[in-house]
């Protein structure tokens, strides 16, 4: 389920833990929810839209006056398997370490070396 937050502290949305704020943060679980938001009047209230993951490559040093787009989709499926490879499709809400742990638990070795 999607949700729009206004004037939200970004402390838990980036690894530096600096308490800056964003004018908006939109959490969504699937492409349809994102599309609905992008076509809505609500999204037009923001000058800038910025997709984020876990925030390990972001440093906020002042208020972000746009809207952050944060996917929470943790779906996962094995799409195709051969004797030597497995193709996996995941939602964009996975954190890398959690995905690697899932792969190891599924005996899908190799990804932990990336």
Looking at residue 107, its pLDDT comes to: 92
Question: Which alpha helices (DSSP H) does the chain contain, by range?
Answer: 31-39, 96-105
* Burial degree of 57 (CB within 10 A; 0-12, 13-18, 19+): exposed
Tell me the two tokens of residue 73. 């989709």
Question: CATH fold of 3-71, please?
Answer: 3.30.43
**Domain residue ranges of the chain, discontinuous segments joined by +:** 3-71, 76-113
Per residue in 14-71, pLDDT (tens digit) is: 788 888 999 999 999 999 999 999 999 999 999 999 999 877 788 888 999 999 999 9
Looking at residue 48, its pLDDT comes to: 96
- Entry pTM: 0.84
Calculate the dihedral angle through the C-alpha atoms of 15, 17, 18, 22, rounding to the nearest 10 degrees. 70
- pLDDT (average), residues 84-92: 93
DSSP-derived secondary structure letter, 74 = -
Identify the helix (H) or strand (E) that includes residue 110: none
């Amino acid at each position: 389920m999607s949700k729009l937050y206004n004037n939200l502290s970004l402390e838990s949305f980036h690894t530096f833990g600096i308490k800056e704020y964003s004018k908006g943060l939109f959490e969504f679980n699937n492409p349809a929810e994102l599309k609905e938001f992008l076509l809505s009047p609500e999204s037009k209230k923001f000058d800038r839209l910025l997709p984020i993951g876990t925030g390990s490559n972001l440093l906020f040093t002042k208020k972000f006056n746009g809207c952050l787009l944060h996917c929470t989709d943790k779906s996962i499926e094995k799409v195709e398997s051969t004797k030597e490879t497995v193709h996996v499709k995941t939602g964009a809400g996975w954190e890398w370490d959690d995905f690697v742990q899932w792969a190891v638990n599924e005996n899908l070795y190799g990804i932990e070396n990336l």
